[in-house]
Structure 1
Amino acid sequence: MTNKQRILIASLGGTIAMTKAAAPGLVPTLAPDDLLLRTPVLASLAEIETWPLAALPSASLGIAQIIALARGLRQRFAEGCDGAVVVQGTDTLEETAFLLDCLMSGDQPVVVTGAMRGSDAPGADGPANIADAVRVAADARSVGKGTLVVFDGEIHAARFVRKAHTISLAAFRSVGRAALGSVAEDEVRVSGCVGRVAPIHSIDPAREVPVALFRFAMGADDRILKCLPDLGYGGLVIEGAGGGHVSAGLVPAVRELATKMPVVLASRCPEGPVLRATYAYPGSEMDLLSAGVLHAGDLCGLKARLLLSLLLMSQDDGEDVAARFLARASGSPQPHPETIS
């Protein structure tokens, strides 16, 4: 291969970098260079650079860390890297990918991957996933497609990918649609595309405020909801039942919160849309939306929470946050990209 692409591998930790070592279970032990030694084919695929960022289980990652990662990736791209692969744990992989998709402004490919089995396990999937991710990051057809997730031979858009299984090697899938493509016989095959919205810039992590994620369950009361303002929360995402429904008893608290902070309505169902105009009873989607609750569009609760968190860090005007959330949740292009900080 000539004129190899410069691909950065940034490591945050996760199962892909874990072994059992002397512990009874998996713990972080491997640096990015160790991962390269376990995947010798990478040298033939691209000019590889490594960037060790953290050695954490992904449940311990935070939004501020991913904002810093995005800033660092923009700098590396400005210095000549052609693409990047981010490796991390799978528990929050879909959240990292979505955050990066919201934050990255250039056309250089960013691919997120990981592993379901530790590096010293029989049939460890990390080497194959890293190799596939590098192939995708170095492929010209990945340019301009935003952040992608490559896992178990499939290519997914960050907006739609979900972790759908706790232990399967095929743990990730694009919910409600087909994957964007695949990697088969060492060849990248792209069959779909996804629209991109303008990245969110001018974000100050020091202004981060917590955004609550409340999953409705039968018999749930409003005590948690009533506490949110006094606890310092700046927003709320409700995962309603079915098409976006809660009990009538929760409606007064939700209406009150919607006057104090952005409140978003998503669904706890893994597939299907949040409704807009089907049911009109107290606690239905029409009732909640009429109270000023924001529609999550095609975003699940996890990603709606991340989007709202980023917008709250970038703006002071609550109404503007609401308008920008609705535009981005619907996937509408933004007419005026914001200035990069």
Structure 2
Amino acid sequence: MSVALLALGGTISVPDRARGARLSGTEITAAVPGLAGTGVVLDVRDVHAVPSGSLTFAQVLDVVALASRAVAEGAEGVVVTQGTDTLEETAFLADLVWPHEAPLVLTGAMRQPAMAGADGPANVLAAVRVAASRAARGAGALVVFNDEVHAARWVRKTHSTSTATFASPGAGPLGHVVEGRVRMLLAAPRHEPLPAAFDRERLEAARVALHVVTLDDDGEQLEGLGTAYRGLVVAGFGVGHVPGGLAPRLGELAGRMPVVLTSRTGSGSVLRETYCAPGSETDLRQRGLIDGGFLDPYKARVLLRLLLAGGAGREEIAEAFARRG
């Protein structure tokens, strides 16, 4: 049984605040108690040794390509270690293009290796077990943290410092690692993967803005957005509402580019036709905004950018969000 482990940067690779050098993948795995006892042969490779906040779409797709190559060469699964700042977004990006039955497992740490109670070793051990487990096959990209297995589709970072930061609001974890055994209890819906190969210039040009609606929002921040971006995700109040005065400006933008409506709450779906006042979800849909469903704003931005980079038109984009949102 072999698993490829691709090491990026992040807290899990920072030995302490005084040292600038990062731990390699080999150094990270050498500090994991019980890893040798799993019987899993690890193929450890160092990729992008950068904080996750500095990762780009292109770099994440490069990691997915390396992971695909490892599976083609015989790996039963793949583990990616990275920083947690963007983990929920990189996991979803990977999930959208991952075509294999083999699990693609992302993990990291909230505490540096030199800190008391460092969580990196336990997370790596659990992630390797999930990547090697037949029970996790076909589940797509997964986030394994704190002995919980989360679907990339639902997972969120919910706390700035807690080791139990990753959760799946409204859905819960797909499974758990208990006494070294992977117990999968639920299955997330899987969709046909998007093409993994993107023209880098088109990917770079497919810029998508995110606007979080706030109290008394007049939309001045949106001025000129149509010339710099090709799409917009709106994180509205509650079930998908905005101030009435903002609605016409969003409608005007929706006539020029795809505008996706999501909720800023972090859990639950936007509605479609329950409220009808100016700025309500019904009003915004009539103005051309696309229903983001259950997708949070950050994941909606990832999906919209990939669709635009792939040349999708407005109708294709609306259909994709109807299926995946």
> TM-score band (shorter)?
over 0.9
Counterpart residue type for residue 50 of structure 2: L
Aligned to 1:10: 6
Measured after TM superposition, the shift of residue 144 of structure 1 is 0.4
The answer for the alignment partner of 2:129 in structure 1 is: 135
Q: From 45, 48, 52, give the equivalent of 1:54.
A: 48
Say yes or no: does 1:106 pair with 2:95: no
The TM-score normalised by the length of structure 1 is 0.91
Q: Aligned-pair distance for 1:229?
A: 1.2
Q: Is the 8 A contact 1:42 1:48 kept in 2?
A: no
Per-residue deviation at 1:311? Answer: 0.6
Tell me: CA distance 1:49–1:40, structure 2 relative to 1, closer, same or farther (3 Å): farther
Specify the alignment match of 2:324 in structure 1. 328
Matches within 5 A, 1:129-208: 129-201=123-195, 202-208=197-203
Partner residue of 2:298 out of 293, 297, 302: 302
Partner of 2:232: 236
For 2:160 and 2:96, how far apart are their aligned partners in 1? 26
Q: Tell which deviates more after alignment, 37-46 or 147-156.
A: 37-46
Partner of 1:32: 25
Gaps of 5+ in 2: none
Amino acid at match of 1:138: A
Cα RMSD for the two superposed structures:
1.3
Matched, 1:214 2:211: yes
Task: Note the C-alpha offset of 1:316.
Answer: 4.8
Q: TM-score, normalised by structure 2?
A: 0.95
1:78–1:121 CA distance, 2 compared to 1 (3 A): same
CA contact 1:101–1:147 (8 Å) conserved in 2? yes
Code of the residue aligned with 1:219 in structure 2: it is D
Take 1:317 and 1:214, find their aligned partners in 2: how far apart are those partners? 21
2:255 equivalent in structure 1: 259
- Name the residue aligned to 2:35: 42
Quote the Cα distance in structure 1 between the aligned partners of 2:323 and 2:144.
Answer: 27
Q: Does 1:223 align with 2:216?
A: no
CA spacing shift, 1:313–1:28, aligned 2, 3 Å: farther
Residues paired across the two proteins, number? 321
Q: Unaligned stretches of 5+ in structure 1?
A: 330-341
- Of all paired residues, the percent bearing the same amino acid is 44
Q: Does 1:90 align with 2:84?
A: yes
1:236-276 residue CA offsets vs partner (Å, 9 max, x unmatched): 00000011011111111101110111100000112222111
| Displacement after TM superposition at 1:40 (Å) | 4.5
Asked if the contact 1:28/1:56 (under 8 Å) is kept, the reply is no
Instruction: Report the secondary structure of 1:319's partner residue.
Output: helix
